[in-house]
Each structure stands twice: as C-alpha cells, then as structure tokens.
C-alpha cells in the first residue's frame, strides 16, 4: 500500500464508533466454544509425532489466535450485531430519551415559534423568533405584534422593547431594563415564560407521561417522529385542560417541532417550531438590545449578585446547603445571592425574605437550580415556592428524606407538565427548593445529597 492513499483518521467519528455497544456474549458462550474446539481436536485424531519445537508452536499460535480473534470480533462483530437497515420505528421511550438528550446536549437553538390558542395568548396565531444558548442567553422577538426581548447572560441584563397594548396612538415602544436577575425559579429570572409554556412544557409533558404510540412522519422535509400520549389533566379546570398530546419530534435534533394538545379530540392549543437551527453559533450581538434614542426606559434591579460559593457562604446568616451530587453532565454555572426580600409562591403569597442563595447548574439547555432562604418568623405561612399558581391546582407527592441535611424532613415533589419539576422542603431555619429539567429520581437524589458547605 502507498501511505499517500491514507487520509487522516476521523477522530470524532472514531470515538463515536468505539462507543457503539458491542453486545455481551450469551450465557455459556465460552463452554460452548471449548466443547466445539475439543470436538474438532478429537475429530482430527491423534496428532503425528512432531519435534518439540513444533509441539510448542501450536499452543503458542492457538493462544495468540484466540486473543487476536477476540479483539477482532469486538469491532467486526458490529457488522452483524447492528440492526438491519430496514427503517425501524422508535418506541415512545426512544422518543422521550431523544428529546431529553437533545436539550441536554445542545449549545444553542433558534427558530420561529408559533402558538395557536384560544386562551393563553388570545385567539388566533402568534409568532415569535427565538434563540437560546446553553449559557442562558435569550432572544425573543414578537413577529405578530412587534416587541423584542434580549437577555445577555454574561452581563445579567435583560432589555425589552414593547409596543403599547392600550395606547393605540402611541408609536414609540416602551423600554425595560432588568438587572440583578436570579438564575431562575422560584425567584425572578429571565423572561422565559413564553418558551417555557410552549417548548419546555412539551418536553416536560413527554417526560412525565407514560406509554404512547409512535409513527414516522416528515416535518418540513425532515424525518420526524409523531408521538401520541395521554397527559395529566389539571384538577381545577378539567373541562378546559388537555388530556392528550400529539408531539412531532425532529429526529435529527430531538427537538419537539409541533405539539397539539387536545381535550377529548378538541384542540386546546397548538405549538409549532419552524426554521429550527441547532448549534449554529448566534451572532455576537444577538443577545444585546439597544434602546432607540428617546425611548422611555423603566429600570429595575431584582437584587441578585453573582459571587463565589465561599463568598455566598459568608454573605448569608446561615450554613449554606450545597448538593454533593448532581446528575451527569450538570456543572455549576452560577452562584447568586440576594439580600433584598423577594416573594415566591402562587401569586407571591409566601413571606418575602432576604438572604436568598440560588445555585444554578447547567447541562446544555437544561438547568437545575437549588435555592435556600430563611423560613422567617412563621413557618406555617409557607406553601410551595414554585407552585404553578394562576388558578391551577398542583397535586404534589409527599416524600421523606433519609439522608443529608434534609434527613427526616418531609418534602413535596411535583413533576407535572404545567410546572417546573421540583421538590421543596423546610428545615427549622431554611426553605429549600430543588428544581429543573431532571427526572423525579434525580430531583430526590439531589435534594437528599444537600450538605453544609465547607
């Protein structure tokens, strides 16, 4: 062979190929092989007398052959261990796994979001363009009514321009600048509500559902899965809450690109994503919004300041609780502290307490947030800091922790399409929340691993 014909090995492809699972041998494989080889040796009959050198060479060769064959099969066995080339339907579990994987591995996503609903955003269709990054940056532009919002995660600044909804003769949009934002719920974070109610809730609905049927379809010319599954009905408004979800998932990216929620066959809302692009780096200024000259700007500061874990420990009058374990892939992205009293819970009904610590962990577009805050004078005044609210009734599961700083304490766990999955609990001094894009068991494991920092 001429070395000139060799091209550099594709290292990324090589790594991916080596990660492909090679099935374990079936039970009794080695005994079966030994029997076959012994039978073959017997079939040959007594060996002719050979020189000592020849008799030694045969076992050496066989041993090496056996070892080399085992190595060779480990890779070449993939030739036949792989599924056939016939298109295979994914199972509902496959689709859920792919969706979760898509969110967890993406670095950025952009596209156009279309929501058709009679209730949440008024009748008719509304369309937004959106972009998100794994750092938490956000851009949301209302293509139907005008308006623009940009959150620059690096500077922790959110700016928006909104047209007047009530003053039809006012052309100039109103400006808003929010700083000192918390990483996210239950405290004031970036304005992700529209994306959360559309894309996020679909992902969570899928994660919380069971079973379902799948078929292969094409969406905007791209292969997709179509999954139908039943979802939980809201307890307060069962007559208008969807009980069935049809989700179209882009097979390449794992992103839900269309969701139709129905109630006994009647459409409640439809969400679509068009022009989906995953992992294309957004322009450098994509998350910065400049106010036009003369814009009236309302400025507010939510009070959160970023700092190190040790600085946070020193900044609050209690022992900081930190998870000893977080799910694979999550890394600590932000520690933020607020000394400003801030409300939480349904309609902000919980006591407004200061000295809040919010720890944000990120994995792709997923986020996991752990918060601690003082109970205050009246523990009985507390209800779920992440309650869905707005008329929805949650049905949390009661759990008791067996280890960590919450050992022996009762917590309330809620995994529901309408809520961010979370668990919350109280100690004698603190209210603790763990919330984010993780499974039920992972939420509980994170909460059970909370320990005093240092």
Q: How far is the C-alpha of 318 from the C-alpha of 371, rounded, in Å? A: 13
Region from 77-85, 153-161, 203-211, 406-414 binding other proteins, contact rule CB under 8 A: 77-85
Region from 276-284, 389-397, 399-407, 445-453 binding other proteins, contact rule CB under 8 A: 276-284
CB of 79 to other proteins, least distance (A): 5
| Long-range CB pairs of 160-166, under 8 A, 24+ apart, other chains included | 160/191, 160/289, 161/289, 161/291, 161/292, 161/295
Region from 3-11, 230-238, 298-306, 382-390 binding other proteins, contact rule CB under 8 A: 3-11
CA quadruple 119, 122, 128, 131: dihedral sign = negative
Count of residues in contact with other proteins, rule CB under 8 A: 63
Please identify, using beta-carbon distances, which residue of 93 and 280 lies nearer to other proteins. Answer: 280
Which residues contact residue 15 at a Cβ distance below 8 angstroms, ignoring those fewer than 6 apart?
Answer: none
Q: Does 51 bind other proteins (CB under 8 A)?
A: no
Give the footprint of other proteins on residues 322-351 (CB under 8 A): none
Please identify, using beta-carbon distances, which residue of 9 and 398 lies nearer to other proteins. Answer: 9
If you write DSSP's letter for every residue of 222-235 in order, what string do you get? EEEEEEEEE-PPPS
Rule CB under 8 A: choose which of 97, 196, 220, 279 binds other proteins: 279
Q: Does 280 bind other proteins (CB under 8 A)?
A: yes
Q: DSSP secondary-structure letter at 342?
A: B
Helix (H) or strand (E) segment spanning residue 362: strand 356-363
Q: Which of 391, 427, 386, 392 is nearest to 184 (CA)?
A: 386
End-to-end CA distance of the chain: 61
Q: Does 1 bind other proteins (CB under 8 A)?
A: yes
Q: Which of 454, 428, 289, 410 is nearest to 372 (CA)?
A: 428
Tokens linked to 440: 């039920």
Please identify, using beta-carbon distances, which residue of 84 and 166 lies nearer to other proteins. Answer: 84
Q: Are 177 and 298 in contact (CB under 8 A)?
A: yes
Q: How far is the C-alpha of 146 from the C-alpha of 127, rounded, in Å? A: 10
Region from 6-14, 154-162, 163-171, 441-449 binding other proteins, contact rule CB under 8 A: 6-14
Q: β-strand 366-374 against 430-436: which pairing, if any? A: antiparallel
Torsion of CA 5, 6, 10, 14, to 10 degrees: 120
Q: Which of 123, 158, 159 is nearest to 144 (CA)?
A: 123
CB of 360 to other proteins, least distance (A): 22
Q: Which of 313, 393, 443, 325 is nearest to 433 (CA)?
A: 443
Please identify, using beta-carbon distances, which residue of 76 and 402 lies nearer to other proteins. Answer: 76
Rule CB under 8 A: choose which of 51, 52, 84, 265 binds other proteins: 84
Which residues contact residue 268 at a Cβ distance below 8 angstroms, ignoring those fewer than 6 apart?
Answer: 117, 118, 119, 240, 241, 242, 261, 262
CB of 75 to other proteins, least distance (A): 5
Please identify, using beta-carbon distances, which residue of 78 and 354 lies nearer to other proteins. Answer: 78
Region from 12-20, 329-337, 365-373, 404-412 binding other proteins, contact rule CB under 8 A: 12-20
Region from 72-80, 138-146, 164-172, 433-441 binding other proteins, contact rule CB under 8 A: 72-80
Rule CB under 8 A: choose which of 55, 145, 215, 222 binds other proteins: 222
Give the footprint of other proteins on residues 422-441 (CB under 8 A): none
Residues 86-115, one symbol each (x = binds other proteins by CB under 8 A, - = not), give -xx-x-------x--------x--------
Residues 254-273, one symbol each (x = binds other proteins by CB under 8 A, - = not), give x-------------------
Rule CB under 8 A: choose which of 55, 56, 66, 311 binds other proteins: 66
Rule CB under 8 A: choose which of 55, 56, 65, 295 binds other proteins: 65
Rule CB under 8 A: choose which of 58, 145, 215, 339 binds other proteins: 58
Q: How far is the C-alpha of 161 from the C-alpha of 32, rounded, in Å? A: 73
Q: How far is the C-alpha of 156 from the C-alpha of 149, rounded, in Å? A: 13
Count of other CB atoms within 10 angstroms of residue 193: 10
Rule CB under 8 A: choose which of 176, 229, 241, 253 binds other proteins: 253
Give the footprint of other proteins on residues 139-158 (CB under 8 A): none
Which residue ranges make up the site for other proteins (CB under 8 A)? Answer: 1-3, 5-7, 9-10, 12-14, 16-18, 20, 23, 25-26, 29, 32-33, 36-37, 40-41, 58, 61-62, 64-66, 68-69, 71-73, 75-85, 87-88, 90, 98, 107, 222-223, 251-254, 277-281
């Amino acid at each position: 062979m001429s070395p000139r014909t060799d091209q550099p090995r594709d290292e990324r492809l090589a790594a991916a190929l080596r990660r492909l699972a090679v099935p374990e041998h079936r039970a009794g494989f080695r005994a079966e092989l030994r029997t076959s080889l012994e039978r073959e040796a017997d079939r040959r009959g007594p060996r002719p007398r050979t020189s000592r050198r020849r008799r030694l060479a045969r076992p050496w060769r066989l041993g090496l052959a056996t070892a080399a064959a085992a190595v060779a099969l480990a890779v070449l066995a993939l030739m036949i261990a792989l599924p056939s080339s016939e298109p295979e339907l994914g199972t509902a579990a496959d689709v859920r796994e792919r969706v979760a994987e898509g969110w967890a591995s993406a670095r950025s996503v952009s596209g156009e979001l279309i929501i058709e609903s009679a209730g949440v955003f008024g009748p008719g269709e509304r369309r937004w363009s959106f972009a998100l990054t794994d750092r938490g940056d956000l851009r949301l532009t209302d293509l139907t009514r005008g308006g623009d919002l940009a959150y620059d995660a690096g500077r922790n600044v959110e700016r928006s321009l909104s047209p007047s909804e009530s003053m039809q003769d006012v052309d100039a949009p109103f400006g808003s600048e929010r700083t000192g934002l918390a990483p996210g719920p239950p405290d004031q974070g970036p304005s992700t509500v529209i994306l959360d109610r559309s894309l996020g809730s679909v992902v969570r609905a899928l994660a919380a559902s069971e079973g379902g049927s799948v078929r292969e379809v094409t969406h905007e010319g791209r292969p997709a899965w179509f999954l139908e599954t039943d979802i939980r009905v809201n307890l307060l408004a069962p007559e208008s809450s969807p009980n069935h979800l049809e989700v179209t998932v882009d097979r390449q990216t794992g992103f839900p690109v269309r969701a139709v929620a129905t109630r006994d066959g009647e459409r409640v809302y439809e969400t679509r994503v068009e022009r989906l692009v995953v992992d294309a780096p957004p322009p450098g200024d994509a998350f910065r919004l400049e106010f036009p000259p003369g814009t009236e700007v309302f400025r507010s500061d939510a009070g959160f300041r970023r700092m190190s874990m040790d600085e946070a420990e020193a900044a609050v009058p209690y022992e900081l609780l930190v998870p000893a374990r977080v799910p694979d892939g999550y890394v600590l992205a932000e520690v933020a502290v607020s000394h400003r009293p801030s409300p939480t819970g349904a309609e902000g009904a919980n006591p407004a307490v200061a000295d809040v610590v919010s720890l944000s962990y990120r994995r792709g577009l997923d986020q996991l947030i752990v918060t601690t805050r003082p109970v205050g004078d009246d523990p009985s005044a507390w209800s779920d800091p992440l309650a869905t609210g707005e008329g929805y009734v949650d049905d949390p599961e009661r759990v008791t922790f067996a280890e960590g700083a919450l050992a022996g304490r009762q917590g309330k766990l809620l995994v529901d399409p309408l809520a961010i999955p979370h668990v919350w609990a109280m100690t004698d001094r603190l209210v603790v929340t763990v919330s984010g894009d993780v499974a039920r068991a992972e939420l509980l494991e994170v909460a059970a691993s909370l320990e005093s920092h240092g």
